[in-house]
């Protein structure tokens, strides 16, 4: 099935046609999904997936909503175990376009729906909302879909005044790849979409990948005289040494000025649930007192 966006009325009609009487006849279909952004959205709708791919990784990187223990493993997100999927006898399988090559095989197991939160042209925030409504309709939880969107709006509205101190200067958001390289999130990323709606300027305005980030060396941050920097955990062991005493790191303007902060993990490839988590994490950081040391510094300037 092609990746398409629907009006809400068309979503409901299309999902009912896809699942037939099963949507109406049961509290909710048994759903299998592999992409963690889709899984988190389903859990946010109150739909516990029948299986999860790389569950330990989900618990480390995505964190919330936490899936209940004991959910069967489905193999790798990019190469699902078809036998494991078939054993679950799902009513619906949700994939992303990255699994298009698996779609014919998965479609022989159950009706298959392809959705994408990320694309080359769309606003991730809007796409995440549309995907949430599509999943809500496909699982017979339209009311939960409306509530999830309202919750996301409410979280951003509540957080916006709390993060006003962070709007005083442009803000870099980054994850360490190794001791000398960072992944910086810009246009097209989930984080940038949230920053925009919170009134915070993203310090990185250059070209990005399909997923809204670019990877470069720390030296590229040396020209950012007035910006602040927030780094997401987990930090690779080799990069922890950089944070502690790396000479290039210590000479970065934002580090010298103490405009650096460390944030807990947030899934950068997620949907509305990760967006809400990111907003709350920013609010917590903005409310925290300044702490000296490279491990946690105040990024408010």
Q: Which of 140, 170, 188 is the last residue of a domain?
A: 140
pLDDT at 13: 40
The answer to whether residue 105 is domain-embedded is yes
| 111/189 same-domain check | no
pLDDT per position as a tens digit, 26-78 = 357 899 999 999 999 999 999 999 999 999 999 999 999 999 999 999 999 99
- Report pLDDT for 5: 35
Tokens at residue 241, please? Answer: 């040494």
Is the pLDDT score of 118 beyond 60? yes
The answer to whether residues 105 and 178 belong to one domain is: no
Residues 129 and 237 in one domain: no
The pLDDT value given to residue 27? 57
Residues 84 and 180 in one domain: no
| 174 in any annotated domain | yes
Examine the domain organization and report whether 43 and 134 are in the same domain. yes
**Domain shared by 17 and 136, yes or no:** yes
**Region 146-158 average pLDDT:** 98
DSSP 290: P
Last residue of a domain, one of 82, 106, 140: 140
Same-domain pairing of 197 and 86: no
- Total structural domains in the chain? 2
Q: How many CB atoms lie within 10 A of CB 44?
A: 25
- Whether 154 is covered by a domain: the verdict is no
CB 74 within 8 A of CB 55: no
CA distance 211 to 268: 9
Residue 23 vs residues 51, 68, 70, 140: alpha-carbon distances, Å? 19, 23, 25, 6
Do 127 and 15 reside in the same domain of the chain?
yes
* One domain, residues 65 and 108: yes
Q: What average pLDDT is seen over the chain?
A: 88
Indicate the angle between helix axes 272-287 and 36-44, nearest 10 degrees.
80
Residue 1 domain flag: no
Whether 295 maps to a domain, the answer reads no
Checking if the pLDDT of 301 tops 60, the result is: no
DSSP track, 49-111: -SBBTTHHHHHHHT-SSPPPTTPPB-B-SSSB-HHHHHHT--SEEEE-GGGGGGHHHHHTTS-
Q: How far is CA 276 from CA 54, 77, 117, 210, 289, in A?
A: 23, 23, 15, 22, 22
In this structure, are 79 and 31 located in the same domain?
yes
Task: Copy the structure tokens of residue 121.
Answer: 């042209």
Please check whether residues 122 and 188 belong to one and the same domain. no
**Residue 267 maps to a domain:** yes
- CA-based max dimension of the chain: 64
* Cα distance between residue 102 and residue 95, in whole Å: 9
How large is the average pLDDT for residues 213-237?
94
CA–CA separation, 170 and 172 (whole Å):
7
Q: Which residues of 167-200 are buried (b: 16+ CB within 10 A; e: fewer)?
A: bebbbbbbbbeebbbbbbbbbbbbbbbbbebbeb
Task: Examine residue 145 and state whether it is found in any structural domain, yes or no.
Answer: no
The reported pLDDT for the residue numbered 57 is 94
Question: What phi and psi, each to the nearest 5 degrees, are found at residue 200?
Answer: -110, 130
Q: Which two tokens stand for residue 125?
A: 């925030």
Label residue 225 by pLDDT band (50, 70, 90). confident
Residue with tokens 């999943």: 135
CATH number of the domain that residue 201 is part of:
3.40.50.1980
**pLDDT confidence of residue 288:** 86
Q: Give tens-digit pLDDT for 169-181.
A: 999 999 999 999 9
Query: Between vectors from CA 171 to CA 165 and to CA 175, what angle results, nearest 5°?
Result: 125
In this structure, the answer to whether residues 197 and 98 fall within a common structural domain is no
Residue 124's domain comprises 8-140
Q: What pLDDT, on a 0 to 100 scale, did the predictor assign at position 23?
A: 31
Domain boundary among 106, 140, 174: 140
Confidence of residue 120 (pLDDT cuts 50, 70, 90): confident
Q: Is 149 domain-assigned?
A: no
């Amino acid at each position: 099935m092609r990746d398409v966006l629907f009006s809400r009325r068309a979503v409901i009609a299309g999902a009912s046609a896809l699942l037939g009487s099963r949507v109406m006849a049961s509290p909710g279909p048994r759903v299998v999904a592999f992409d963690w952004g889709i899984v988190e959205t389903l859990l946010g709708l109150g739909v516990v997936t029948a299986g999860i791919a790389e569950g330990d990784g989900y618990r480390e990187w995505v964190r919330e909503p936490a899936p209940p223990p004991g959910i069967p493993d489905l193999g790798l997100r990019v190469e699902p175990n078809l036998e494991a999927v078939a054993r679950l006898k799902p009513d619906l399988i949700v994939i992303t376009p990255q699994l298009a090559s698996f779609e014919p095989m998965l479609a022989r197991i159950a009706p298959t729906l392809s959705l994408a939160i990320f694309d080359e042209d769309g606003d991730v925030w809007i796409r995440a909302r549309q995907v949430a409504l599509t999943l809500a309709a496909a699982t017979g939880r339209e009311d939960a879909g409306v509530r999830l969107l309202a919750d996301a709006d409410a979280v951003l509205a509540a957080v916006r005044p709390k993060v006003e101190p962070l709007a005083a200067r442009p803000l870099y958001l980054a994850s360490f790849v190794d001791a000398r390289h960072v992944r910086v999130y810009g246009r097209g990323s989930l984080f940038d979409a949230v920053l925009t709606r919170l009134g915070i300027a993203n310090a990185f305005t250059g070209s990005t990948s399909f997923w809204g980030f670019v990877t470069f060396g720390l030296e590229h941050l040396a020209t950012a005289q007035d910006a602040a920097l927030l780094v997401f955990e987990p930090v690779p062991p080799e990069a922890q040494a950089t944070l502690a005493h790396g000479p290039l790191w210590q000479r970065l303007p934002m580090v010298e000025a103490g405009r650096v902060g460390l944030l807990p993990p947030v899934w950068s490839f997620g949907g509305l649930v990760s967006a809400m988590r990111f907003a709350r994490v920013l609010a917590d950081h903005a409310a925290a007192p300044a702490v000296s040391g490279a491990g946690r510094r105040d990024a408010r300037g």
